[in-house]
Amino acid sequence: MSALPHLPAGVLDTLRRQHIELPSWAFGNSGTRFKVFAQPGVPRDPWEKIADAAHVHRLTGVAPTVALHIPWDRVDDYAALGAHARDLGVGIGTINSNVFQDDDYRLGSVTNPDPAVRRKAIDHLLECVDVMDATGSRDLKLWFSDGTNYPGQDDLRARQDRLADALAEVYDRLAPHQRMLLEYKLFEPAFYATDVPDWGTAYAHCLELGERAVVCVDTGHHAAHTNIEFIVAVLLRAGKLGAFDFNSRFYADDDLMVGAADPFQLFRIMYEVARGGGLAADTGVAFMLDQCHNIEPKIAGQIRSVMNVQEATAKALLVDGDALARAQRDGDVLAANAALMDAFNTDVRPLLAELREDMGLAPDPMAAHARSGYLDEVTAERVGGTQAGWGA
Ligand code: PSV
Ligand code: MN
């Protein structure tokens, strides 16, 4: 490695074994409530979504798994889907549940006042664990759109009780090697009170459930100006940071490419991850993307996102820990800040290009993708059928 000869020990190894999980739904059509713009070559089923994810992994070398969303990715034979993924050089990762798109869920899923609706929602979550058994997945991700729009609409406290009961039933169903990731989100679709609105609520439920219930931090799910790296530091310290859903936002839950809106924030988050041991070989932190490429090409959007996470990670690893600790001990505010800023301001692209070549990859995955002709190929192949999208 010649680009940066004075690398702290272990940096290259950490970057080489980085594991970023891709969301199957990023390859399908998506949009806003105003319009979904269909794109050529979009997959028509989970098999084709996995093929696209595998292409991203072939070019980046650090995206070896793809997350599924059930029922969007429902198939008859999950073991066969897993084998298909393996044949293409990737694996199936986290199973995402979906209890937010049925008419029954108008007033909530697991916190709905109607026990029959709660039963239906819990049964879906249990079905997702069956899927995990078939795919060999470790993680079940739970996000609930549950909440209320008006004060008095329902009993806030009773909804927490219903949530706790549902989570306990699902937690009990998990095999010893499986985990539950509880994701929080401030608002949307509920506008008054969301039942799992913040990391504190998620953390409290996870604590009650047990060791294998951990929090998922979706970087788009906070109020503006929330200090997300602080949340990351606190959860890691408590052993309760289970995963990230990476994306970036300018306004609300925009689901834009990670690192696009605020690369400095992503760097600060990755610094706290590194500081808290979250990049260790045996890390319990899953690094997933949760994004929608509404107007940009989807496969290239995923490649760019993976590279953005790599760049933020590399910068975080370049922080001179000794200099930083010394400055902090001495109360040298400016030197301490400079230690972080020096790393952030380092251009790590040459380092990552060399690393890729060392891994037998092209130095620039974006250019390699353009050269590969993959998109033209699948566009020609994927004729007929219905393109995947939300609800498909
Ligand atoms: C909710 O906004 C969310 O972040 C959850 O992770 C969902 O499963 C996902 O988006 C759907 O794209
Ligand atoms: Mn998410």
Per-residue b or e along 281-299, where b marks 16 or more CB atoms closer than 10 Å to that residue's CB: eebbbbbbbbbbbbeebbb
Position 2 scores a pLDDT of 53
**pLDDT single digits (tens) 134-179:** 999 999 999 999 999 999 999 999 999 999 999 999 999 999 999 9
Residue nearest to atom 5 of ligand 1 (CA): 143
- pLDDT digit of tens for each residue in the chain (392 aa)? 455 556 877 999 999 999 999 999 999 999 999 999 999 999 999 999 999 999 999 999 999 999 999 999 999 999 999 999 999 999 999 999 999 999 999 999 999 999 999 999 999 999 999 999 999 999 999 999 999 999 999 999 999 999 999 999 999 999 999 999 999 999 999 999 999 999 999 999 999 999 999 999 999 999 999 999 999 999 999 999 999 999 999 999 999 999 999 999 999 999 999 999 999 999 999 999 999 999 999 999 999 999 999 999 999 999 999 999 999 999 999 999 999 999 999 999 999 999 999 999 999 999 999 999 999 999 999 999 999 997 54
CA–CA distance, 371 with 215 (Å, rounded to integer): 39
Structure tokens belonging to residue 178: 């499986």
How much distance in Å is there from the Cα of 289 to the middle of ligand 1? 10
- In tens, the pLDDT along 200-218 reads 999 999 999 999 999 999 9
Distances from the Cα of 42 to the Cα of 68, 69, 167, 385, angstroms: 16, 17, 35, 11
Q: Check residue 392 and give its pLDDT.
A: 45
pLDDT tens digits for range 275-318: 999 999 999 999 999 999 999 999 999 999 999 999 999 999 99
Helix and strand totals (H; E) in the chain: 14, 10
246 close to 219: Cβ distance less than 8 angstroms: yes
CATH T-level fold of 13-317+362-381: TIM Barrel (3.20.20)
Contact 342, 6 (CB under 8 A): no
What's residue 6's pLDDT? 66
Distance CA 115, CA 117 (A): 5
What's the token pair of residue 387? Answer: 């393109």
SS3 content of the chain, % helix, strand, coil (to 5): 45, 15, 40
Quick one: angle between helices 46-60 and 78-87, nearest 10?
Answer: 30
Determine whether the shortest distance from the Cβ of 195 to ligand 1 is under 6 A: no
Domain locations in the chain as residue ranges? 13-317+362-381
- Coil, strand or helix: which one is 222? coil
The Cβ of residue 165 has, within 10 Å, a number of other Cβ atoms equal to: 14
Atom of ligand 1 nearest to the CA of 96: 8
Distance of CA 375 to the CA centre of its chain: 24
Question: How far is residue 58's CA from residue 356's CA, in Å, rounded to a whole number?
Answer: 11
Nearest one of 81, 26, 33 to 53, comparing CA atoms: 26
Q: Report the distance separating Cα 3 and Cα 162, nearest Å.
A: 56
The CA 108 to ligand 2 mean position distance, Å, reads: 18
Ligand 2 centre from 269 Cα, in Å? 17
Distance 69 CA to ligand 2 centre (A): 11
Residue 290, ligand 1, Cβ within 6 A: yes
Which atom of ligand 1 is found nearest the CA of 23? 12
For residue 73 and ligand 1, the question of a CB distance below 6 A is answered with no
> Which 3 state secondary structure label does DSSP give 23?
strand
